[in-house]
């Protein structure tokens, strides 16, 4: 599961310009449900926008611990380099912080170790 994580000493504050990350992903052509999990503080779920390679993800829900779940179209995710963009619509509060982001390819819904994550995505 590719993920981004800033240094523990660095706060990544939302600004007017979006965050843009290049993420290398292997061959994920086997059918899967694909989610982006965004961890952020002091934000409104409806104001976060997530895109991969220009395709906007659909907001699904918020989960415990300021985790925001977005559903991605698997066809938008390419083998090799991908562009993940995380933006905040409107003017974020000074305390609005991006803490982490991950892309989750859900194939085995019976995987006991992933039950909590799968439940958060549903």
For residue range 23-48, what is the model confidence (pLDDT) as tens digits?
Answer: 999 988 888 889 999 999 988 888 99
Q: How confident is the model at residue 91 (pLDDT cuts 50, 70, 90)?
A: confident
Distant-in-sequence, close-in-space partners of 86: CB < 8 Å, separation ≥ 6: 18, 19, 21, 38, 48, 49, 50, 98, 101
**Is the residue at 119 inside a domain?**
no
What are the backbone angles phi and psi of residue 76, rounded to the nearest 5°? Answer: -80, -20
User: Is residue 65 within 8 Å of residue 34, measured between CB atoms?
Assistant: no
pLDDT of residue 8 exceeding 50: no
CATH number at residue 58: 2.60.120.1200
Structurally, the chain folds into a number of domains equal to 1
Which has the higher per-residue pLDDT, 11 or 90? 90
Q: Which residue has the tokens 């859900």?
A: 106
The pLDDT value recorded for residue 71 is 94
pTM recorded for the entire structure: 0.81
Query: Which residue range is the domain that position 25 belongs to?
Result: 8-108
């Amino acid at each position: 599961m590719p993920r981004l994580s800033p240094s523990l000493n660095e706060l990544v504050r939302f600004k007017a310009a979006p965050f843009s990350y290049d993420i290398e992903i292997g061959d994920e052509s086997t059918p899967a449900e694909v989610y982006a999990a965004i961890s952020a503080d002091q934000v409104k779920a409806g104001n976060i926008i997530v895109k991969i390679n220009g395709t906007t993800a659909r907001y699904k829900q918020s989960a415990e611990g300021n985790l925001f779940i977005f559903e991605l179209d698997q066809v938008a995710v390419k083998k090799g380099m991908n562009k993940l963009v995380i933006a905040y619509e409107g003017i974020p509060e000074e305390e609005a912080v991006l803490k982490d982001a991950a892309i989750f390819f859900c194939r085995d819904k019976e995987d006991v170790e992933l039950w909590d994550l799968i439940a958060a995505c549903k």
